[in-house]
A and B are shown apart, each in its own frame.
Chain A
Amino acid sequence: DTEVTQTPKHLVMGMTNKKSLKCEQHMGHRAMYWYKQKAKKPPELMFVYSYEKLSINESVPSRFSPECPNSSLLNLHLHALQPEDSALYLCASSQEARGETQYFGPGTRLLVL
């Protein structure tokens, strides 16, 4: 099974809302990633977790708060977002964080009003 699942598929939120994105994998992978993809642009790395610890934060604003409660689950907590944060948020996982094949989920399309 090489599936990464993400919920919700779509999310509309106001600038004062708090919401969370969820990502799950059951492949036994120990590295998990969040990427952001704006329309007609490539994905951009936001965060990398390795063995449930944050290993890379690509200078992401604090209104995005990642959490890795266990090795199968990755959350992205959203608070006080701006309209320019509207994008496709992609989760991925890999066996380790040493440079292996990354498997992506279907993404959450976020619209901030």
Chain B
Amino acid sequence: GIQVEQSPPDLILQEGANSTLRCNFSDSVNNLQWFHQNPWGQLINLFYIPSGTKQNGRLSATTVATERYSLLYISSSQTTDSGVYFCAAGTASKLTFGTGTRLQVTL
């Protein structure tokens, strides 16, 4: 099956800093999504982005499908951005989640 790798595994930022999270996947996909899991376990969908670039407030994402990677940019980070960020990739309804990037934003 498809392999999904994320980097870095852990990230500590001061409030206001910017960061880039990376997701590499091993096969062609037509479904790629980024999620944020808060400390209570709730998964929030950030982007559905099998290709191209999208922006939503302080977050943006880019997927280069031909090179099999996706990037999530977080600008002007806030403490509420803390949690685990997952990339999930696959075909149609079958998503494989990466191992995640655990982000801690400190004051």
Residues of A within 8 A of B (CB): 31, 33, 37, 41-45, 48, 50, 55-56, 88, 90, 92, 94, 97-104, 106-107, 109
**Separation in Å of the A28 CB from the closest CB of chain B?**
16
B97 and A42 contact, CB distance less than 8 A: yes
Contact flag A42-B93 (CB < 8 Å), given A101-B33, A107-B41: no
Quick one: CB contact mask for B8-51 with A, threshold 8 Å, 1 for yes? 00000000000000000000001101010000111111001010
A106 and B40 contact, CB distance less than 8 A: yes
A100 to B93 alpha-carbon distance, docked (Å)? 7
**Across-interface contacts of A50 in B (CB, < 8 A):** 93
**Separation in Å of the A42 CB from the closest CB of chain B?**
4
Residues of B within 8 A of A (CB): 30-31, 33, 35, 40-45, 48, 50, 86, 88, 90-100
Partner among A48, A55, A97, A104 whose Cβ is within 8 Å of the Cβ of B43: A104
